[in-house]
Amino acid sequence: MTAAVAPRATEFRFDPADHAAIAAFVYETAGILMPPGKMQLVYGRLAPRVRASGLTRFADYIALIDRDPVERTRAIDALTTNHTSFFRESHHFDHFLEHAWPALDQRLGTRGKVRIWSAACSSGEEPYSLLMAMFGKERGNGQRLSRTDLRILATDLSTEILTAAKAGRYALDTASGVPTTLRETWMTRDGDAAQVHPLVRERVAFRKLNLLEDWPMRGRFDAIFCRNVMIYFDEPTKERLQTRLAERLAPGGFLYIGHSERLSASVAPGFTCVGRTTFQKVAA
Ligand SMILES: C[S@@+](CC[C@H](N)C(=O)[O-])C[C@H]1O[C@@H](n2cnc3c(N)ncnc32)[C@H](O)[C@@H]1O
């Protein structure tokens, strides 16, 4: 016998067939797995959209996202997990500063360019952390770097979260994750929030990008942060993504993945493991 309605989910009718339809939609669109055990989570995230759409049944909401691309985007926004924080898994930033940054900084000094990709950047804490770490504790250093060809591409699937990322405005509690000296240099207090300094913000280009679809970027990156998104994907999707990430990384470039993620067997030989969930692409 199948449970007809998710536990405590009494406002709207939501049965296993509805869940299966939504799971298929989110898998096809974003590669995200939503097994039957996530039924309660799906209900909780989409019920506000069912309500806002003036509907009373999930079946009608599924029909709506089928015909309405705007509502499809809203549904994906609601279903993605955007949890992140400043300096999350800080060992990656330590590694980058110690092992990648010296050569990249030198290259910038000789008018070279440096390109970094924060793939699945969520609300922006990841690329901003990296920039604050590179800019260091002196404002003068940031002014020097802002005259160089240093760019971070920061992408995510969720439209709503990218709007927050671009704004670069965070609750004080969130901003407290930035080490004090960096926060005092690169964030300013604005009422009950902290704003990322324009010198930092102008180095990041936030773009909407689905990791499963074609990527418009042409060049290669010196480092790619692709953390805590592959956990939502199945093995074939992870493997395809990692193969494409490897192609986009310059030889000797670094790939940082999330703490519970690993490289697929077919991709791993192209990398040397140089730290915890930290990989360097072997030179061709
Ligand atoms: C848990 S957050 C990780 C944020 C950050 N990288 C970190 O480690 O803190 C996962 C992000 O992946 C994004 N995402 C999920 N599926 C995606 C896809 N197919 N393409 C691009 N981004 C995706 C979500 O919108 C979400 O913002």
- 119 CA distance to ligand 1 middle (Å): 7
Contact 156, 209 (CB under 8 A): yes
pLDDT at 283: 85
Indicate the class that CATH gives domain 16-79.
mainly alpha
Sequence spans of domains, the chain = 16-79, 91-281
pLDDT at 269: 97
Residue list, ligand 1 pocket, CB within 6 Å: 30-32, 80-84, 88, 120-122, 126, 156-158, 161, 210-212, 227-229, 258
The CATH homologous superfamily for domain 91-281 is: Vaccinia Virus protein VP39 (3.40.50.150)
Cβ-Cβ contacts under 8 Å for 258 (sequence gap 6 or more) = 89, 227, 228, 229, 230, 231, 277
Domains 16-79 and 91-281 fall in the same CATH topology = no
Is 72 part of the annotated catalytic residue set? no
Mean pLDDT, consecutive 10-residue segments, the chain of 284 residues? Answer: 49 95 98 97 97 95 97 97 98 98 97 97 98 95 94 97 98 98 96 97 98 96 98 98 98 98 97 98 87
Is 45 part of the annotated catalytic residue set? yes
- Catalytic residue selected from 18, 45, 74, 77: 45
Distances (CA, A) of 274 to 90, 144, 279, 282: 15, 30, 5, 11
- 63 CA distance to ligand 1 middle (Å): 26
Structure tokens at 201: 């913000």
Give me the count of residues in the chain.
284
Judged on CB neighbours under 10 Å (0-12, 13-18, 19+), 219 is exposed
Contact 71, 49 (CB under 8 A): yes
DSSP state of 208: E
